[in-house]
Amino acid sequence: MIDIVNHINAIHREIGDSPVAAGPGRSLLLRRSYDTSIEDVWDACTSPERISRWLAPITGDLRPGGMFQLEGNAGGEILRCEEPHLLKVTWAMGEGMVTEVEVRLSRGPDGDTVLELEHASPAEIVDEMVRTYGPGGTIGIGGGWDITLLGLDRHLRGEKFDPATWEDTSEVKEFATRSCHAWGSVIQGAWGTSDDDIAAAIAFGVQHFAPETSDDNDG
């Protein structure tokens, strides 16, 4: 069983500005701790065999300058890889907008590991999308990363599950719904979005990233 409330509260969420290669950028920042060594977290985030156990199978030339592809997910170029503290890649779905993801690891005070994940996109494109469609997509992307960090936690705890199907369980759907609400509050605080607009954006995020399902299978 997933302790949904504790996992939601374990993640610190921020909306901010972070430059990308193309210029100014808008970013989502997530931070949470894992009760294991920095070496273990680094290996889980960079070993192809381990990545396949909690995220998706990965292929490519997994070194700086090389290209990678996650099965059924994003791909890109490995920009920086500084063991065991920093991994930075470009991130794009198919022919979609190229964004950048940076993972930073640091040692916590009690032998744990603090992970920061920052996902930055070109500011001009993000601002136009928000003006046109509202912040629902941003909420959904944040919720998607929340689920990713939850999967990493399960893996680091030694749990075995199928990353291709586990998000379809009722527990993870509930987690994703609560995550969309958490990101809605963060976005409203950062952007001053009205209550009505943020409620509509949360509903959009829930519908697209945590749709109702009767399937409750887990790996």
For the sheet with 86-91, list strands across it.
12-17, 25-34, 113-122, 99-107, 86-91, 75-82, 67-70, 58-60
Which pairs with CB-CB distance under 8 Å and at least 24 residues apart come from 176-179? Answer: 176/143, 176/146, 176/147, 176/206, 176/209, 176/210, 177/206, 177/210, 178/4, 178/5, 178/8, 179/8, 179/142, 179/143, 179/146, 179/147, 179/210
When pLDDT is averaged across residues 151-158 and rounded to a whole number, the result is 98
- pTM for this prediction: 0.93
| Mean predicted lDDT score pLDDT of the chain | 94
Give the tens place of pLDDT for each residue, 178-198: 999 999 999 999 999 999 999
Give the tens place of pLDDT for each residue, 198-217: 999 999 989 876 665 434 44
When pLDDT is averaged across residues 148-154 and rounded to a whole number, the result is 98
Query: What pLDDT is recorded for position 16?
Result: 95
Query: What pLDDT is recorded for position 210?
Result: 62
When pLDDT is averaged across residues 167-184 and rounded to a whole number, the result is 95
Query: What pLDDT is recorded for position 169?
Result: 92
pLDDT surpassing 70 at residue 219:
no
d(CA 215, CA 164): 13
When pLDDT is averaged across residues 49-77 and rounded to a whole number, the result is 97
pLDDT surpassing 50 at residue 60:
yes
pLDDT surpassing 50 at residue 7:
yes
Give the tens place of pLDDT for each residue, 67-118: 999 999 999 999 999 999 999 999 999 988 999 999 999 999 999 999 999 9
The full set of domains in the chain, from first to last, is 4-209 (3.30.530.20)
pLDDT surpassing 80 at residue 146:
yes
